[in-house]
């Protein structure tokens, strides 16, 4: 019998990814250093990096983990509602709640990652870009469905509106993270989003 089962190894791997995701949300994906994770988790550096092979692979794993949380928390709740205005507003509210929640110390993972990696080519950059583009498309599609259903102003351009909603979230993020104003961020964000959608 091996000293560690496959299941144990997987659990260790998940604890590393979880910690990497949390560290990255505060200090950025470059703040995820192998030595720091090892110290935080009481492991050796070799034990940490052995699960991934390279720091880049570790960053990609943290990115994927953050993406799963985002999808579940922001996109998920609206799926209980039929496509249309109600679902779009549910997504917006869940999104603002996500970036203003008290237990999310570092703010929006993808927004921070976007600014951190926008000038650095490589697989992490590409994956961030892909994730954000995918989300913008989902948003535009949901907005388009609501317009089609006659539940949002027909003059609304879904892609422009998706762009503007994402911009608002970046503003909310700054309000929370830089200025420490969670309530102000939430209120300004919700107000701005409703104005974007013409749904005040």
Choose the binding region for DNA from 30-38, 80-88, 130-138, 169-177 (rule: CB under 7 A): 30-38
Please list the helix, strand and coil fractions of the chain in percent, rounded to the nearest 5, in that order. Answer: 75, 0, 25
Mapped onto helix, strand or coil, the DSSP state of residue 44 is coil
Distance CA 138, CA 70 (A): 13
Choice between 51 and 188, CB closer to DNA: 51
Residue 34 in contact with DNA, rule: CB under 7 A: yes
Report the alpha-carbon angle 104-107-108, nearest 5.
115
Give the residue from 200, 174, 181, 164 showing the smallest Cα distance to 89: 200
Q: Using the rule CB under 8 A, which residue among 13, 15, 19, 27 binds its own copies?
A: 27
Nearest by Cα to 192 from 103, 170, 75, 85: 170
Give Rg (Cα) of the chain. Answer: 19
Which positions from 38 to 77 touch its own copies by CB under 8 A, shown as an x/- string? ----------------------------------------
Near its own copies in 112-171, by CB under 8 A: 112, 114-116, 118-120, 128-129, 132-133, 160, 163-164, 166-168, 170-171
Cα distance between residue 160 and residue 183, in whole Å? 27
Judged by CB under 8 A, which of 107, 144, 186, 197 binds its own copies?
107
Q: Which residues sit at the interface with DNA, rule CB under 7 A?
A: 4, 8-9, 12-13, 32-36, 38, 42-51, 53-56
Q: Which residues sit at the interface with its own copies, rule CB under 8 A?
A: 26-28, 30, 105-107, 111-112, 114-116, 118-120, 128-129, 132-133, 160, 163-164, 166-168, 170-175, 177-179, 188, 191-192, 195-196
């Amino acid at each position: 019998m091996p000293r560690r089962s496959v299941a144990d190894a997987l659990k260790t791997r998940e604890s590393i990814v979880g910690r990497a995701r949390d560290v990255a949300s505060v200090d950025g994906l470059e703040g995820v250093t192998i030595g720091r994770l090892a110290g935080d988790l009481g492991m050796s550096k070799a034990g940490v990096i052995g699960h991934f092979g390279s720091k880049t692979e570790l960053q990609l794993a943290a990115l994927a983990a953050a993406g799963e949380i985002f999808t579940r928390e922001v996109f998920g709740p609206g799926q209980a509602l039929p496509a249309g205005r109600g679902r779009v507003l549910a997504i917006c509210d869940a999104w603002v709640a996500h970036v203003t929640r008290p237990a999310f110390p570092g703010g929006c993972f993808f927004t921070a990652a976007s600014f951190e990696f926008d000038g650095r080519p490589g697989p992490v950059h590409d994956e961030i870009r892909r994730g954000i583009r995918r989300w913008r498309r989902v948003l535009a599609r949901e907005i388009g469905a609501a317009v089609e259903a006659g539940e949002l102003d027909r003059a609304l351009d879904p892609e422009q509106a998706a762009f503007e909603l994402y911009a608002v979230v970046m503003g909310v993020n700054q309000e929370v993270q830089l200025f420490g104003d969670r309530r102000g961020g939430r209120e300004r964000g919700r107000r701005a989003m409703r104005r974007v959608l013409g749904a005040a």
